[in-house]
């Protein structure tokens, strides 16, 4: 039987270290994401009281530029409705409940 040598040392660190984002770029992206979330949250807070009564725990997909939203009990169908109308824009998915959370930790 042949014995395998164990002189292989595992690589540590990123696979493509030259493609790392600078701290400034990371901060810029994080700030843009927060602004986008806040704009979506305004729409969510506006429509939540009227929709939560009849559509509790349904999914809501929000497009903040127009203020449009799409709701459905199935997450995939809600995404599809939004994608049909706003295929090239960013959208946020939330859940119609007290916090808007759509997942579990």
Whether residue 7 lies inside any domain: the answer is no
Contact 59, 93 (CB under 8 A): yes
**Comparing 104 with 77, which gets the higher pLDDT?**
77
pLDDT digits (tens, 9 = 90+) for 85-103: 988 888 999 898 877 776 5
Ramachandran category for residue 57: left, alpha or beta (phi over 0 → left; psi -120 to 50 → alpha): left
Residue 45 maps to a domain: yes
pLDDT at residue 25 in the model: 94
In a domain, 15, yes or no: no
Assigned domain for 1 exists? no
Count of domains in the chain? 1
pTM (two decimals): 0.74
Residue 96 contacts residue 56 (beta carbons within 8 Å): yes
What local confidence, expressed as pLDDT, does residue 2 receive?
67
- Pair 59, 74: CB distance under 8 Å: yes
- Phi then psi for residue 68, to 5 deg, are -75, 150
Q: What is the pLDDT of residues 36-79, one digit of tens each?
A: 999 999 999 999 999 988 999 899 999 999 989 999 999 999 99
Question: Domain span at residue 28?
Answer: 22-95
């Amino acid at each position: 039987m042949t014995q395998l040598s164990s002189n292989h040392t595992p690589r540590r660190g990123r696979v493509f270290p030259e493609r790392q984002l600078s701290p400034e770029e990371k901060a810029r992206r994080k700030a843009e994401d927060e602004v986008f979330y806040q704009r979506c949250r305004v729409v969510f807070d506006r429509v939540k009281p009227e929709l939560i009564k009849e559509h509790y725990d349904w999914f809501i997909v929000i497009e903040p530029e127009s203020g449009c939203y799409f709701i459905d009990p199935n997450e995939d169908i809600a995404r599809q409705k939004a994608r049909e109308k706003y295929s090239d824009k960013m959208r946020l998915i939330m859940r119609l409940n007290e916090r808007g959370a759509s997942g579990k930790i």
